[in-house]
Amino acid sequence: MSGNRTNEEVVEQYARALAGMDLDTLASLRHPDWSVDWPQSAERVHDSESYAEIVRRYPGGRPTATVTRIVGSEDRWVVTPGNTVLKIVGSGDSWWGEWLAVYPDGETYHVIALIELRDGRVRHETVYWAPPFAAPEWRRPFVERIAPRPPTGSGG
């Protein structure tokens, strides 16, 4: 555990920092051996400074994100600084989070992050991005249509 924080509290703080692109907080919550894999582009980032440079140099400015869900094992409800009610779940070392990311060009992506902790800090992440798409008509008889999550463009 990092200080007196539970893994749940570490992941909660990490999710808020990711949504707000708080690079200093992210770095402070990462294990010294931290890395992130981006399977869709076949890339791995090995340190927080390289990650920070990627964010700083992103064409058009930093993406914004809204955390929609964090999942682990023990349920609890919290309110984020952005007044979003968020269900935080779990106390183990394996978590996953769901985000809506809005990029400077206006594109919105659903993001899933698999988060692994070690010694109370984020040790490894694997992150997947998926753009929304229209459901095909042929599936209409077999599915219930749900409201898409709207992009908010607001971090956190």
How does pLDDT run across 110-146, given as a tens digit for each residue?
Answer: 999 999 999 999 999 999 999 988 999 999 999 999 8
**Mean pLDDT confidence for 43-57:** 96
Stated as kind and residue range, the H or E segment containing 32 is: strand 30-38
Q: Which residues contact 133 (CB under 8 A, 6 or more apart)?
A: none
**Mean pLDDT confidence for 27-48:** 97
**Mean pLDDT confidence for 34-55:** 96
pLDDT at 51 (0 to 100)? 96
* 130-to-10, 41, 124 alpha-carbon distances in Å: 26, 12, 20
Contact between 27 and 50 under an 8 Å Cβ cutoff? The reply is: no
pLDDT higher than threshold 80 for residue 4: no
Contact between 82 and 92 under an 8 Å Cβ cutoff? The reply is: no
Tell me the fold of 7-133: Nuclear Transport Factor 2; Chain: A, (3.10.450)
* Residue 37, amino acid: D
pLDDT at 87 (0 to 100)? 54
pTM, to two decimals: 0.77
> What are the domain boundaries of the chain?
7-133
Instruction: Encode 42-68: b = buried (16+ Cβ within 10 Å), e = exposed.
Output: eeebeebeebbeeeeeeeeeebbbbbb
pLDDT at 71 (0 to 100)? 86
DSSP β-ladder status, 94-102 and 64-71:
antiparallel
Which residue would you say has higher pLDDT here, 51 or 6? 51
Return mean pLDDT, the chain. 85
**Mean pLDDT confidence for 146-153:** 64
Q: What percent of the chain has pLDDT over 70?
A: 81
pLDDT in tens, 69-120: 888 865 456 665 555 555 554 557 899 989 888 889 999 999 999 999 999 9
